[in-house]
Amino acid sequence: MLLKNKVVIVSGIGPGLGEKLALEAAKQGASLVICARTASKLDDAELRIREAGLNNEVLKRVCDISDAEQCGELASAAVAHYGRIDVLFNSAYIPGEFAPIAQARLDGWRDTMNVNFFGTMALTLAVVPQMKVQGGGAIVMINSMVTRRPMPTQGGYAASKAALTGATAHLALELGPDNIRVNTAYMGWMWGPSVAGYFEATAAAGGPTVEQQKAAVASTIPLRRIPEDGDCAKAAIFLGSDYACAITGAALDVNGGDYLPH
């Protein structure tokens, strides 16, 4: 098991990738700290873990990562309960407002930046002192393919994630001597509740059917399918595990080949 005897924090628990990260971490033997702004999402995630027949210890905490004080309290609770923090998966985000940049409401951009960049950094900085004390750790940033391949109306979201890209590289450089690895998984199209809901809304508005939309997107991806969110979670789990002990500052594209760097 890749995370056996590891204490793992997963932020942004909810239907989709956050929940799948928690479930996969549990399957890989982790003791968990899961956080979200809504307590019911934490309960649902724990239920999924129990339904999978797993008995991992799960510490649930309501936390808004845009509040640095709450991030500090979360890290302190993890240390008080488990005595260490081995891995942080920064999965919490908000999509922001979808609009062309020329029509953007910059206050909306600030809200998005406050969670996706400043909030992620606040939680990261909250766990770093403990990782330094214990001799190392791993931090995995969940990022987006839109920072690498722009998509219309997603400028605000992409800008927040692009800022995180820059900070991640510097974190990897500066924390390397403390044996703290910092890597990024760049997610593309992921089949899960968010994409399914988007396709369903488009179909309900008179657009193509869900299956037609899925086929259209899949036709642009070399693997000819939209990756499942659970499969994407496995790639992030790898970056947090000791199998990636020689990797820091890496950008792992998890999108079925939809973006091919060269």
**Could you list the pLDDT tens digit for every one of the 262 residues in the chain?**
999 999 999 999 999 999 999 999 999 999 999 999 999 999 999 999 999 999 999 999 999 999 999 999 999 999 999 999 999 999 999 999 989 999 999 999 999 999 999 999 999 999 999 999 999 999 999 999 999 999 999 999 999 999 999 999 999 999 999 999 999 999 999 999 989 998 999 999 999 999 999 999 999 999 999 999 999 999 999 999 999 999 999 999 999 999 998 7
Of 186, 231, 209, nearest to 16 by C-alpha is 231
Amino acid of residue 141: M
Predicted pLDDT of residue 261: 82
Rounded Cα distance between 195 and 174, Å, is 36
The two structure tokens encoding residue 116: 């996706």
Of 146, 13, 188, nearest to 90 by C-alpha is 13
In the chain, the domains with their CATH numbers are 7-190+229-254 (3.40.50.720), 191-226 (no CATH)
Sheet architecture: strand order including 58-62: 58-62, 31-36, 7-10, 87-90, 137-144, 180-187, 251-254
> Are the C-beta atoms of residues 49 and 57 closer than 8 Å to each other?
no
